[in-house]
Structure 1
């Protein structure tokens, strides 16, 4: 028996055996009786509770009135783990009952009305449930009622209006539903009303709320309230904070709000508010934070806002605002954050920007700003983030920008900037990201480029930069992404580039670089992509290239490289694309190239001086799709190429090949130009090693036989056609109406059938499914191969799409090569109908196996499916440029292979279809009900983070065995909310949400499930910026089972793809807006957050809703991002842009 248990037992024996000896009064005995129900671990906090006193007045947590009776009980942040203390309802003098964060359970009984003297009832941050009893309205002395962060449900009782002295009513973060009672208007002393975080609350804000003239704080954020904001809100003269964000509010902002003269914080973001920003907001002279982002606001920013000289944060992002920045903004000298992204604001960036001397964050991106960046920006010395990309800015980058010594991120890409890059930018010691892509910048790269030692991403592509790459580039030891492509750089690639050992991508293509490839590249062990094509590189390929074991794309084409292909390239096992065309490479093709079994995208060695035969080892390149060996001096036969069954395109022209052409479908369909220029190659009627008159005596006999055979075939064909027309005439006529046009067929794999053999089989009897993107048919080819044919829905209200457009879009999808993605075999288009051909997967999809057939009874199969799907999705997001957003991740789109491997289907199809059946708010399919990320409802935008949310829902689905909107969830909640509530009520016990089929799993498997659930909760974070990338999700799932086989590396370690015919580039590094993390650190974060707070959203609410009784400040979207980043920073290796000025909390 533990020491704590012995102590508690002695307490009970003392009370039971020696009541006569104890002088303790009745209230003391009641308290000791209550103490006996506490968690044993809490006993140390109540050591003073004993029978040596006459009254409990000297005990900790207890205060008595003058007559010796208990008047106050205050217990905070002690895990009591007990039910609501009904024993205390007999305390007739009790004025304060405050048990906060004590893990109380049960319900508040109606007998709470017995505490008639109660002034304060604070039971926040517990696990209480049930409804608020209507008897609470009989507590006539009550001034503070705080029940936040519990699991109360039902309506807010109208009887609460009888508590006429009530000053604070805090009900946030529960499960309340129904309308806000009109009786709230009777609480004329009410100062604080917070009911946010109750999504079930609906209806309009009651007009009677204007009777609460003493209101200081009104918080209804993250609820279902709707309708317009009542104009009577303007009668609340004492209101300081109005928090109405993330609701369903519509209509315009009432101008009467300008009468709330004490207002400091106005939070109305993430709604459907429309109209103009009222000029009357300029009357709010005490206004500090104005957050209206992600609404439907239009018109210009009112000039009157400049009168609010105390403003600290303005966020109008993601609206439809027009016009110029008001001149009156020059008065806002206390402004720390100005965020205007994604609007239509025009005009010049005003020079008065220099007045914002304490500004930390300036976001003007994706607008229509023109003119020059004013030099006065150099006066904004506290600036840490400056985004102005995708505008119409001209002129040069001001050298004064280098005076902003705290800058961490600058993005001025996609403008019309000219002139040199100021060398002052590279003196910024905190700068991690400098993006100046697609401008007209000229001049040399600054020689002090190496001074910016914290730089991680340097993207200067598509400019007019000249001169050499400075050797000082080697001082950037943290650099991960170096893109200097499409410029006019000269000189040699500096030897010092080998010091940038963190590089993952080095892209120098499209310049005028000379000299050789430096041997120091061997030190770039993390390099995934090396592109130096279209330069004047000479010399040989370094023999040490084999040390670049992470390399998956090597592009050296259009240079002057000589020498041999190094055999060491055979060590680059992850290589998927090898492009060396248009050089002066000689010698034979080394056998080692044929051992690159991962080489599946492209092998291009054309336009060189290669000799000798095709190596026998090429038989191993069974996955290769595109091979170009043209314009060399290769010899021998083509027998080896007949074994490459996945070849889609082949060019061997202008060599010295001889012998017969392999009798395969590929060679039969090759255009003549792909084989031309090989004098000794036997093509079509050309004889191989035969004499002209061989068998001449049989020619006459054979000729006669052929004529007779042809006549017989003709007669049989005519009879067959007549019979076919009689039996299937109607169907054929209908088919001809739709598909009579000529088909354009583009294969992406080696195929043994034609489109004309497929189209007639697209009948209703072969339909196996219908979805948002089209109808799926099961078709068996003449060679007994079963394929899936998806006939896309036609685009509505538009002319049929051009064939070139469709082919270009699908060609990008056809370039995808990954073991966890369904293989696209080809596409067809006749101008009216569009077909996609896929491998047929016979085991069905995850939803069917999970919910209908219930075949996934073990954890190992489910884990394998989740890991495979994560790898496939990470490949689409991170290994392809531009990234491919799936847009419809759901259990139905995860097919299951014969060995229970996951195969993603329908990736990228949303761009090709439109279906009102599946998407009401947008012209493009944006996902499926239950899986759609919450931000789509207000932004109509789909990003990679939307896919991450959908995948998180799938993870919860696999974990719980429930569908996203499962009927077993009694209140009709979404699975994300249900898991959150269950874990909260069960104190993090994952078995409460675990599929019953998994309950008998081993302890090791249960630990894995605990970790997987932690990853899932990260994915379903309501804030998209706080969700991990799919690369990180895949890494965390891999980390859960530390069984990493080198032959099966996850895609984020270097599996990528591209298509030489499509403008898609692939690699394994993150996009500029993402930040690289270690998988193990992320996994620790996931489990940490699950273990401590049960769910990431709960943790977010704890930090953002004001738990632990502290007063908080509200956060804008950027502040929310920074809040999570600050939280993570102590646990993960993040290199991020910090915004130190922003407050660290938000309020409901």
Structure 2
């Protein structure tokens, strides 16, 4: 019995020890929890009453002896601090704090047994504690990606000889890469991309013989080029050194990387020829050398790259021909060689592998015929051959390429007819064949056409024949440009079936007959150009039904009758040309017609009225045409009085200007104009105009940071002075007039300005958090939480609403963009930069500008082609800002091939809910899906192509501040308690969260 009793006693002692140890580790977890902020209650289960069962707590993992070996707090929206007491978890193997909001430096942890440390995607600041790094002698994985670390890279990392995975990218580390990192002999993954590193890339990295992945690019700007020693990394699979300022030549030693499958050196300043030695990288699948300054020819040795799927060499200075062997690469899917000086022809066998998806050879000097086998495997999606010297017919095989989505072959010398079946391809969205020598008919009358096609651009060819009636079956068509051809016959009434048509140009053809009244059924047409044809009959009075028509050109035809007086009621009409017809009667003088000039109606001898000769006949009110009789002398009297008034106005203006010049005698002294009580003088402002104080540069001037005697900070925008004889005030007068009278919480506050004849200095409140654009599109965009983004959207909308509805006169900003929305210390939004602002005298009217002003990607469509601006132009720009907040993407430059964010979003969101998930900023951790859907809906109505369909800013504010609540299904019966819990979660409270 004694042995049995001894065993029982030993068991009780061991249980007590385990219980004691367990209690200690459970208490450590409670200490950790106390130092954290947990807004979503992810750690609610960590409580003192259950401290002995900590192994069942959320995120905690234990081994068989009840010892914590894993702590996974990933994606819990935690913030605050990580208590140094974590060092008491001596057996910890896996620690993951990824995708949270911790906002302090990682503590000086001393965990000898730690094998994995993942602190990625947080908001830590400062540098990694050196003591902690020295103690983690068993560390195998250190992932600190996407933080706010600053200062030099920690050299202490080099002491961690067991380290296999080191990722310190996506922070603000500066200085050079420590050469000691070359001592990490076990390293398989090294990521230093996305920092602010400089200096030369150390040759010592070539000693990392086990390295498989090396990422050094993006935002870093190194001195020199690619070290030849990297060719010693025999196990390297992926090398990414893109966008990091590299110069010099591509070293031939890289050809020793026989395991390499991806080589990315794009967006640098590499020069010289492409070394033929790269042809020895037989395992290579992706090669991107685009956007450099490479010269010479494409190496013939590339024929050995039989595994290659992607070859990007665009935007270089390459010449010579495309090697015929490129066409034989068995796995090639993407070939982009555009914007070089490449000559010769396309390899005849290109596409025969059946895998080619993208081919872009635009803006080169290629010639010859287009090969017939580019779509041999029905995988070709995008074929872009713009701006070359191709001749001959378009291959008929393209008419059967069912995978094709984009076909762009304009600016060539192509002849022959359009391939049969091309307009019936099920996925084809865009056809551009303009500026060629194509002949024949558009398509047979009996062919079935695709409802998918949205843009058909065939301008400036030699196409002829009648426009077939089945053109009305292209139900998805948005742009139809057939101008500059030889089409004849009447315009078919089926054109009215194109319900989505927004732009139509049939000018410079031989169309005859009357303009079909059915054209007015195209309700969203904004541009109609029927000029330079042989059209007869009258102008359809039904045009009044086209409520958003902006541009109407029917000039140089044979139209007769009067101009329908009802057209003056079309408020959207901003440009009209009816010149050189046989129109008669009186030109309407009301509404938008009061803005047009004589050039819109010249060449019609029987027209009279405004801008033209006085009417000498009576007018038939029914047709607005002339009838025999005499006209009253009223018109003559009005003209005489008008001329007299103009003379008086000019004389008065000259006197006022002379007096002003006399008052403003030459003086270079500084003058301070204050809009409130100020604690500084012009001398204080001038003191801050130093290079080290620059915080921003724009198209109009430089912005500096300064401070008052009290310590309060301010910003100074330096603009050129108007001076004598200057016609351009660089936006100074507009900004002063605007900001000087505005007092609103969400409009940047102008404190005063200093000026002389040479320089103007605007002084306004300082915004510590910079602009919304900098935060969204810099490296830290992911740290701008959804709640903050939503708040900024509402506040910026309120600022614009004030400008549009509460100022007198109303103000149109004209340059609404994320960079002009500034954020104070509490991330409160303030609309700024009124250098382009314009006053509108009456609500609902527009003003015509002399040129386009604003920022590319934000400009409303009607502003771009009519130069007419009103409040709805700002609404469009604000809608683009909302899309930036949702997607985290810039308005242009990220979607390729001239596509902006509005076009990209439209393409990606055909199914609204799933589509929004596709475009959502992936750097966001969790967001309330119903809120995102609501903001997305507001954004899309703001960017409607037709201005009349956009809401006012007052309506935008109302929509944003009153989002719809998540609806419940009161009559449904949950199948289980679990489903009932889910329904309840998604009903009243905002827990409809989307994880990304």
- Give the TM-score normalised by structure 2: 0.68
CA distance in 2, matches of 1:1120, 1:574: 27
The alpha-carbon distance between structure 1 residues 612 and 174, as it changes in their structure 2 partners (threshold 3 A), is: closer
Partner of 1:584: 582
| Distance apart, 1:1131 and its partner CA | 4.5
**3-state secondary structure, aligned to 1:386:** strand
| Distance apart, 1:762 and its partner CA | 14
| Distance apart, 1:835 and its partner CA | 9.1
CA distance in 2, matches of 1:335, 1:1122: 28
Partner of 1:976: 774
Query: Equivalent residues in 2 for 1:870-1019 (5 A)?
Result: 961-962=766-767, 976=774, 987=785, 990=788, 1016-1017=817-818
1:563-599 CA distance string (max 9 Å, x none): 222222222233333322332223x215x34443563
Matched-pair contact (CA < 8 Å) for 2:142–2:167? yes
Matched-pair contact (CA < 8 Å) for 1:849–1:856? no
Partner of 1:80: 78
**3-state secondary structure, aligned to 2:201:** coil
Partner of 2:165: 168
Matched, 1:118 2:7: no
Query: Which residue, out of 289, 314, 318, partners 1:317?
Result: 314
The alpha-carbon distance between structure 1 residues 55 and 231, as it changes in their structure 2 partners (threshold 3 A), is: same
Partner of 1:391: 388
Query: Which residue, out of 450, 453, 456, partners 2:454?
Result: 456
Matched, 1:1068 2:862: yes
Partner of 2:87: 89
| Distance apart, 1:132 and its partner CA | 1.2
Matched-pair contact (CA < 8 Å) for 1:164–1:188? yes
Partner of 1:491: 489
CA distance in 1, matches of 2:107, 2:593: 70
Partner of 1:31: 29
Matched-pair contact (CA < 8 Å) for 1:539–1:560? yes
| Distance apart, 1:62 and its partner CA | 3.0
| Distance apart, 1:841 and its partner CA | 9.6
Which structure 1 residue ranges, 5 or more long, are not aligned? 1-19, 620-631, 645-659, 668-748, 770-833, 866-891, 893-953, 963-967, 1021-1033, 1038-1042, 1059-1065, 1072-1076, 1101-1114
Partner of 1:607: 603
Partner of 2:436: 439
CA distance in 2, matches of 1:313, 1:123: 34
| Distance apart, 1:103 and its partner CA | 2.5
Matched, 1:557 2:567: no
The alpha-carbon distance between structure 1 residues 379 and 764, as it changes in their structure 2 partners (threshold 3 A), is: farther
Query: Which residue, out of 351, 354, 367, partners 2:351?
Result: 354
Deviates more, 1:73-82 or 1:395-404: 73-82
| Distance apart, 1:108 and its partner CA | 2.0
Matched, 1:293 2:179: no
Matched-pair contact (CA < 8 Å) for 1:577–1:602? no
Partner of 2:236: 239
CA distance in 2, matches of 1:613, 1:634: 15
- Give the TM-score normalised by structure 1: 0.60
**3-state secondary structure, aligned to 2:475:** coil
**3-state secondary structure, aligned to 2:87:** helix
Q: Which has the higher contact order (CA 8 A, sep 6+)?
A: 1
Query: Which residue, out of 61, 64, 69, partners 1:63?
Result: 61
Count of residues in Structure 1 that have an aligned counterpart in Structure 2:
782
CA distance in 2, matches of 1:351, 1:432: 27
Partner of 2:263: 266
Matched-pair contact (CA < 8 Å) for 1:613–1:634? no
Partner of 2:507: 509
| Distance apart, 1:216 and its partner CA | 0.6
Partner of 1:204: 200
CA distance in 2, matches of 1:46, 1:837: 67
Matched-pair contact (CA < 8 Å) for 1:552–1:1056? no
CA distance in 1, matches of 2:572, 2:898: 39
Matched-pair contact (CA < 8 Å) for 2:789–2:885? no
Matched, 1:425 2:422: yes
Matched, 1:326 2:319: no
Partner of 1:858: 744
Partner of 1:250: 247
1:331-386 CA distance string (max 9 Å, x none): 32211211111111111112111324122211111111101111122414111111
| Distance apart, 1:170 and its partner CA | 0.5
| Distance apart, 1:1084 and its partner CA | 8.1
Query: Which residue, out of 129, 132, 139, partners 1:133?
Result: 129
The alpha-carbon distance between structure 1 residues 547 and 986, as it changes in their structure 2 partners (threshold 3 A), is: closer
**3-state secondary structure, aligned to 1:224:** coil
**3-state secondary structure, aligned to 1:545:** helix
1:677-731 CA distance string (max 9 Å, x none): xxxxxxxxxxxxxxxxxxxxxxxxxxxxxxxxxxxxxxxxxxxxxxxxxxxxxxx
| Distance apart, 1:1082 and its partner CA | 10
The alpha-carbon distance between structure 1 residues 284 and 601, as it changes in their structure 2 partners (threshold 3 A), is: farther
CA distance in 1, matches of 2:884, 2:731: 39
1:625-673 CA distance string (max 9 Å, x none): xxxxxxx9999799859979xxxxxxxxxxxxxxx89867999xxxxxx
The alpha-carbon distance between structure 1 residues 1088 and 637, as it changes in their structure 2 partners (threshold 3 A), is: closer
| Distance apart, 1:311 and its partner CA | 1.0
| Distance apart, 1:1001 and its partner CA | 8.9
Which structure 2 residue ranges, 5 or more long, are not aligned? 1-17, 616-626, 670-723, 754-761, 806-812, 822-833, 853-859, 866-871, 924-996
**3-state secondary structure, aligned to 1:506:** strand
CA distance in 1, matches of 2:481, 2:591: 31
CA distance in 2, matches of 1:762, 1:320: 58
**3-state secondary structure, aligned to 1:395:** strand
Matched, 1:596 2:592: yes
The alpha-carbon distance between structure 1 residues 1070 and 348, as it changes in their structure 2 partners (threshold 3 A), is: farther
Matched, 1:194 2:220: no
The alpha-carbon distance between structure 1 residues 471 and 664, as it changes in their structure 2 partners (threshold 3 A), is: farther
CA distance in 1, matches of 2:898, 2:144: 25
1:896-925 CA distance string (max 9 Å, x none): xxxxxxxxxxxxxxxxxxxxxxxxxxxxxx
| Distance apart, 1:1081 and its partner CA | 11
| Distance apart, 1:1019 and its partner CA | 10
The alpha-carbon distance between structure 1 residues 988 and 137, as it changes in their structure 2 partners (threshold 3 A), is: farther
| Distance apart, 1:765 and its partner CA | 6.6
| Distance apart, 1:117 and its partner CA | 2.3
**3-state secondary structure, aligned to 2:69:** strand
1:435-479 CA distance string (max 9 Å, x none): 111111111111257602211111111111111111111112222
Query: Which residue, out of 838, 844, 852, partners 2:733?
Result: 844
Partner of 1:782: none
Query: Equivalent residues in 2 for 1:1013-1028 (5 A)?
Result: 1016-1017=817-818
CA distance in 1, matches of 2:792, 2:262: 42
CA distance in 2, matches of 1:564, 1:454: 39
The alpha-carbon distance between structure 1 residues 296 and 498, as it changes in their structure 2 partners (threshold 3 A), is: same
1:388-432 CA distance string (max 9 Å, x none): 010001001111111211111111111011111112211211111
The alpha-carbon distance between structure 1 residues 579 and 39, as it changes in their structure 2 partners (threshold 3 A), is: same
**3-state secondary structure, aligned to 1:549:** coil
The alpha-carbon distance between structure 1 residues 555 and 42, as it changes in their structure 2 partners (threshold 3 A), is: closer
CA distance in 2, matches of 1:665, 1:350: 73
Partner of 1:142: 139
CA distance in 2, matches of 1:1126, 1:148: 29
Query: Which residue, out of 548, 566, 570, partners 2:564?
Result: 566
Matched-pair contact (CA < 8 Å) for 2:561–2:582? yes
Query: Equivalent residues in 2 for 1:487-886 (5 A)?
Result: 487-586=485-584, 588-590=585-587, 592-597=588-593, 599-600=595-596, 603-610=599-606, 844-846=733-735, 857-859=743-745
CA distance in 2, matches of 1:842, 1:379: 57
The alpha-carbon distance between structure 1 residues 638 and 148, as it changes in their structure 2 partners (threshold 3 A), is: farther
RMSD: 5.3
CA distance in 2, matches of 1:162, 1:21: 36
1:502-558 CA distance string (max 9 Å, x none): 222221111111111111112122222222222111112212222223223322222
CA distance in 2, matches of 1:762, 1:311: 75
Matched-pair contact (CA < 8 Å) for 2:773–2:818? no
The alpha-carbon distance between structure 1 residues 515 and 1127, as it changes in their structure 2 partners (threshold 3 A), is: closer
Matched-pair contact (CA < 8 Å) for 1:573–1:598? no
